[in-house]
Amino acid sequence: MYEVKYALNSADGVKKLLRDRHHISSARFQSGDYNAVDMLVDLSSAINSAGLSEVQAEVVAWISGADMTQQQTAEIMHVTRQAITKAYEVACEKIAAVYRKWEYGEVCVGYLLEDEDYEGEAA
C-alpha cells in the first residue's frame, strides 16, 4: 500500500493530486477506499468552482485527464510550452484557492502501485 498526503490548500498539493488522480481512482476499486471517491468528487467540484478560463480548463484536462506532458499539450493546442505552464500554474492556484475557502488542509489516500508505475517521490 502506498500512502500519499496532499496539501490541497497549495498549488503544489493540487498538482500532486492532479498527477495522481488515476491512481486514486483505481484505489476505489482495488481496496474499496471511499475516501478516494470523496477526494475525486471534491476535486471535480473544486475544478468546477475555480472559475477557470476555457484555456485553463483545457490545459488541466489534457495534462491531468489525458496524462499528456506540457509539451504535448502545447502541440495539441498550438501554443508555446511556456503558455501551457503559465495556464496550468494559474489553474492550480485557482483550484487551491477553492480548497482554502473550503478550509481543506492535508488529506491522505492510500493505493497500490505496480513497480513500473512509480517514478519518484509522490509525497
pLDDT tens-digit series, residues 40-97: 999 999 999 999 999 999 999 999 999 999 999 999 999 999 999 999 999 999 999 9
Q: Is residue 113 part of a domain?
A: yes
Distances (CA, A) of 69 to 9, 39, 43, 79, 82: 24, 23, 20, 13, 12
How many structural domains comprise the chain?
1
For residue 26, the model assigns a pLDDT of: 77
Residue 19 located in a structural domain: yes
If one compares 65 and 2, the residue with the highest pLDDT of the two is: 65
Question: In this structure, is residue 123 part of a structural domain?
Answer: no
Residue 55, domain member (yes or no): yes
* Residue 122, in any domain of the structure: no
CATH label of the domain that carries residue 75: 1.20.140
Residue ranges making up the domain that contains 91: 2-117
The reply to whether 93 falls in a domain is yes
Which of 50, 55, 96 has the alpha carbon at shortest distance from 74? 55
pTM: 0.85
Q: What is the pLDDT of residue 24?
A: 83
Residue 39 has pLDDT above 70, yes or no: yes
Contact present, 7 and 105 (Cβ < 8 Å): yes
Q: What pLDDT is stored for residue 33 in this prediction? A: 66
In this prediction, residue 121 carries a pLDDT of: 41
| Residue 107 falls inside a structural domain | yes
